[in-house]
Amino acid sequence: MRQKGSLGWLKHDLTHRGPTAWLLTLGLFAFYFILYYGGRTLAGVAIPDLFTPIARALHLPSKWTFYGLLYTLAIAIGGAYVIYKYRHNRYQVIRTSVVIFVQATLAFSVPWILTIFEQPEYYFSYLWPLKMEYFYPSTILAMPLPFILFSLLGSLIMVPLLGIFFGKRWYCSWVCGCGGLANTAGEPFRHLSNKSSKAWAFEKWSIHITLFLSLVTTAFVIASWGVGENYPAFSEQAASLRSLYGFVVATLLSGIIGVALYPVGGTRVWCRYFCPMAAILGLVQKFGRYRIRVKDNMCISCGMCSTYCEMGIDVRAYAQRNQDFVRASCVGCGICAEVCPRGVLRLENRWRRDPQELSMDALLNETYRG
Amino acid sequence: MHVVIVGNGVAGTEAALAIRRRLDPSRARITLISEEHPYFFSRTALMYAYMERMQRRDLEPYEREMYRRQKIELLHNRVVDIDADAHAITLDAGTTLSYDRLLLAVGARPRMVPFEGLDEVKDGLVNFVSMQDLDHCERLTWSTTEAVVLGGGLIGVELAESFIHHGLKVSFVVREPYFWPAALAAEEGELIGAEIRRHGIELIIDRELKGIESDEAGRVSGVRLSDGRHLPAQMLGVAIGVVPNVDWLREVKTVPVLGRGIRVDRSFRTSLPDVFAAGDCAEIGGEDETPLLETIWYSAKLQGQRAASAILGDEVNYAPPIFYNSSKFFGIEYTTVGQCVGVPSGTRSLYRKHPTRPITQRILFDEARVLGFSMLGSRWDHTLLQQWIAERRPLSYVREHLHRAQFDVEFGRVDLTKFQEEERTL
């Protein structure tokens, strides 16, 4: 239903896949296209480089720093809105503050300051396989030892360990910049995620295929570094695989598709369907402590939880069947618990084995707990 | 076996799913009939759809595909006749459908009293009980600047909150001296009253509706109150409770025994053979008992499941679990368990109030044990509170363990030591 007043239709339109939403998506596509390809010539057409002059005018080293600044501003402004909106909920206030802090420091200022001190631009908030380069030998060898240690131990030990204790949320909704943008500037679009079981089935395939590709690419690149001198053809293959992965996953899926689809596809398209880091954390999460607890027999099936789940999890299906659960895709943003008008849900870190990933048909068999 | 279920609300749908859980399609054919909406939807979320927080499709708890997979046949039609001797029903479309077991889960509709001027009203009366009410509200909101809500209960608050969302000027008329004495003590009622006023609603207590005024077209134009005051209104929400939807049953060929609702025994059998009833429309109890009419979501869901057992031939002796209910008044969450109003005199009450925030707890108890909890403003695990009542725990035990029943969000746990306490005998 539209709002009253002359601008009423606009509000409705933007957050419900109307023409305004599509225009915004188109605008974001154009933004990313010029950001990535500005200054280059594609198929004989010169793409104007709009952002380098702006960056120069602002005395920023490159258009990428300018993009980082925009990104950080989006998270800070969106984050302020989210903190205000959920000011009565301390989980949301603390989580969002951490997200803003991490973005402003680890993902923006620290790498910039590092370059001032003539160190490599290093992002402590990004890890392999989200940041594939951090496992590529050529990149690793260019780094000082502490960064190498952080890259290796961070990905191989810290990520799974924290995942076991706190679920995937410690990264996906507290640290990661992709999740950070989704949970702040993306807040008005979180309800647009696809809740169908078809989307769930698709996600299971797509995310694990991306994970597989990232593993294969990493393995090829490392192998070609080790034996490349003897097998130039293999080296060439590895290099083209590396650039193909970089283009399809890093540029297309995480940047362009991931953000530009916010107004029409919801905020976590990248995180849900493609992010290899989310795939690993999701597998870890299944064996860890994190879960969503459901208060028995209290759900009124209103569906606010499912509507506002940015990962498209049908939370209501579990809640109305009194089923504690954890889904691999759950990023623990905590909005389902926040919007529940009956306080049925709670995020918990507790060792207790519950059935997980129940199919919708299995859920139909769970019933009243007397 | 062919089970026909009339009404696809929570009781009817739960019954259908419970039957399918036990009998596969080769052993039971299940037909679910509704004239309201072809698919089960969440009545409790109508306000969120009206407030644009949800879309219509979000109201449906099950994917439409589910009914096909579970082989539950859906009919969007109205039942006009029941012939229990022939085991057949007739639909509005004229078709006859035979059944082996019939479950009536036809729910309730808003209660209405013959206010002065009601006969002239053709448009502008609204409620939040059916999908049609939602259509109705959405259609009328455009041409409304002032609205009146009558009746201090849950649906009344939902209507008032939704009207405020749409920028209407809202007056909320409550007959009682404070908000919802049927469930809340005076202090809590006043706390909710303050919350209602804080959102810009004029809460008018201790007044009744005297008459409804309408314009030439029959659209509501205002109301008159018992003190002579006139309130202009283009929408009037009359939320003074619901009554079982049984009037249509007085005209069918074989009429089941009716009280306020459809009379059923504790295994949900009506007076007609192989005809059952459950949910808001069912009035449960034997000959010499006070009939039990539960019109809340939780009861309807449980009754639907229990009625399904009875239909499948199990011994069922329905007794409601220890009462509990929950709600949310604007930002204030409410949980109640056990007996909190209408308690015998001499019952003691412990009232705990947060010094600054709108958070309160009331525990009712006697010398031996706790009887009920009425909690506002923070989240509680009602199952633990229920357990303490069932275990007949004394107040001292409950006070010591109260924190265990808190269900607040992470980092948001309310510090229970800060509360001001007041004990009194009722």
pLDDT in tens, A53-84: 999 999 998 999 999 999 999 999 999 999 99
Interface with A, mutate which of B14, B44, B67, B380 (most A CBs under 10 A): B44
Whether the CB of B305 is below 8 Å from some CB of chain A: the reply is yes
pLDDT given for residue B150 in this prediction = 95
Q: Are the CB atoms for B185 and B362 separated by under 8 Å? A: yes
If one compares A68 and B288, the residue with the highest pLDDT of the two is: A68
Instruction: Report the residue of chain A nearest B52, measured CA to CA.
Output: A1
Distance CA A328, CA B388 (A): 36
Could you tell me the strand order of the sheet in which B230-232 lies? B209-214, B220-225, B230-232
List the single residue in A296, A338, A341 with the smallest CB-CB distance to B328. Answer: A341
The residues, any chain, with a CB within 8 Å of residue B387's CB and separated by 6 or more, are none
CB atoms within 10 A of CB A349: 16
Contacting A residues, span 73-92, partner chain B, CB-CB under 8 Å: 88-91
Q: Is the pLDDT of residue A368 over 60?
A: no
Cross-chain residue pair A91–B383, CB shorter than 8 Å: no
CA separation, residue B188 to residues A90, B175, B199 (Å): 24, 17, 17
Cα separation, A86 vs A84, in Å, equals 6
Residue B383 has pLDDT above 80, yes or no: yes
**Per-residue pLDDT for A3 more than 60?**
no
Q: Are B192 and B332 in contact (CB under 8 A)?
A: yes
Bridge pairing between strands B169-174 and B202-205: parallel
Contact A298 B52 (CB under 8 A): no
Q: A17 CB near a chain B CB, below 8 Å?
A: no
d(CA B160, CA B183): 19
pLDDT at B129: 92
B380 to chain A, any CB pair closer than 8 A? The answer is yes
Q: How far is B396 from B402, CA to CA, in rounded Å?
A: 10
User: Over chain A, what is the mean pLDDT?
Assistant: 91
Percent of chain A with pLDDT over 70: 92
Tokens of B287: 């000959």
Tell me whether B297 touches chain A (CB under 8 Å): yes
Distance CA A193, CA A269 (A): 8
Number of CB pairs, chain A paired with chain B, less than 8 A apart: 117
Token pair belonging to A88 = 């009565």
A370 touches chain B (CB under 8 A): yes
State the amino acid at position B224 in one-letter form: R
pLDDT digits (tens, 9 = 90+) for B405-424: 999 999 999 999 999 999 99
Element (H, E) at B147: strand B146-150
> Using one digit for the tens of pLDDT, what is the confidence trace for A230-278?
888 888 888 999 999 989 988 888 888 889 999 999 999 999 999 999 9
Which of B44, B335, B409 minimises the CB distance to A302?
B44
- Above pLDDT 90, what percent of chain A? 72
Q: Is residue A39 predicted with pLDDT exceeding 90?
A: no
CA distance B27 to chain A (A): 18
Whether ipTM tops 0.90, in short, is yes
**Residue A263 confidence (pLDDT):** 94
pLDDT of residue B175: 94
pLDDT at B54 over 90: yes
Q: Mark yes or no for CB contact B407/A368 under 8 Å.
A: no
Q: How far apart are CA B290 and CA B309, in angstroms?
A: 24
Are A302 and A294 contacting, i.e. CB atoms less than 8 angstroms apart?
A: no
Question: Taking the CA atoms of chain A, what radius of gyration do you get in angstroms?
Answer: 22
The predicted structure's pLDDT at residue A258: 86
Q: Which two tokens stand for residue B356?
A: 């600054």
A295 touches chain B (CB under 8 A): yes
Between A12, A303, A338, which is nearest B54 by CB? Answer: A303
Two tokens, residue B284 = 């449960």
Per-residue pLDDT, A226: 83
The DSSP call for residue B380 is B
- Residue B382 forms contact with A (CB below 8 Å): yes
Residues of B in contact with A16 (CB under 8 A): 55
Q: Do B61 and A303 touch (CB under 8 A)?
A: yes
CA distance A64 to A17: 30
Q: Inform me whether the pLDDT recorded for A315 exceeds 90.
A: yes
Report the distance separating Cα B13 and Cα A367, nearest Å.
13
- Classify the phi-psi angles of B81: left when phi > 0, otherwise alpha if psi is within -120 to 50, otherwise beta: beta
> Mind listing the pLDDT tens digit for each residue in A87-122?
999 999 999 999 999 999 999 999 989 988 988 889
SS3 assignment for B44-107:
HHHHHHHCCCCCHHHHCCCCHHHHHHCCEEEEECCEEEEECCCCEEEECCCCEEECCEEEECCC
| Residue at A221: amino acid letter | V
pLDDT of residue A251: 84
Distance of CA B271 to the CA centre of its chain: 26
User: Which of B10, B21, B48 minimises the CB distance to A304?
Assistant: B48
- Work out the minimum CA distance from A293 to partner chain B, whole angstroms: 10
Question: What are the DSSP calls for B313-336, one per residue?
Answer: T------PPSPEEEEEETTEEEEE
Q: Is the pTM of this model over 0.90?
A: yes
Nearest to A94 among B21, B60, B411 (CB): B411
Q: What is the DSSP letter of B175?
A: S
What are B98-108's pLDDT values in tens digits?
999 999 999 99
pLDDT (0 to 100) of residue A11? 63
